[in-house]
Amino acid sequence: MRVHVIGLGGAGGRIADRLAADHDGEPFLHGVSAFDTDMAALDSLGALGEERRYRFGDAAGGDGLDGDLHAGRELGEVHASELGRALDDQRPSLAEAFVLVVGVGGAAGGGVAPALAAELETLYDAPVYSFAVLPTSAESDPDAEADASPPGEADDGSGPRRPLAERNAARTLGALSERTAAVLPFDTDAWLRRGETIADARDRVNGIVADRIAALFGAGETDESTVTPQQVLDASDVARAVGDDGEIAALGYASQEVEPPKAESRFGLGLFGSSEPEKVDTSAAVSAVETAIRKATRGKNTIEVPEGRADRTLLVVGGPPAWLNREAIAEGRRWLAEETGSGAILSGDAPVPDGEAVFAIVLRSGIDEPERVREIRASIPDRTE
| Numbered residues of the known binding site for GTP | 139, 206
DSSP state string for 259-296? -PPPEEETTSSSSS-EEEEPPPPHHHHHHHHHHHHHHH
CA-CA distance, 38 to 32, in Å (whole number)?
Answer: 18
Q: If you ran DSSP here, which 8-state letter would residue 64 be given?
A: -
CA-CA distance, 266 to 275, in Å (whole number)?
Answer: 6
Q: Judge contact between 315 and 360, C-beta under 8 A.
A: yes
| Pairing, β 247-257 against β 357-365 | antiparallel
Long-range contacts: 266-269, Cβ < 8 Å, 24+? none
Q: Judge contact between 370 and 306, C-beta under 8 A.
A: yes
| Pairing, β 128-134 against β 3-8 | unpaired
R_g of the chain computed on alpha carbons: 21
CA-CA distance, 103 to 257, in Å (whole number)?
Answer: 32
Q: Judge contact between 251 and 238, C-beta under 8 A.
A: no
CA-CA distance, 63 to 40, in Å (whole number)?
Answer: 8
Q: If you ran DSSP here, which 8-state letter would residue 368 be given?
A: P
Binding-site residues, in ranges, read 139, 206
Helix (H/G/I), strand (E/B), else coil: 29: strand
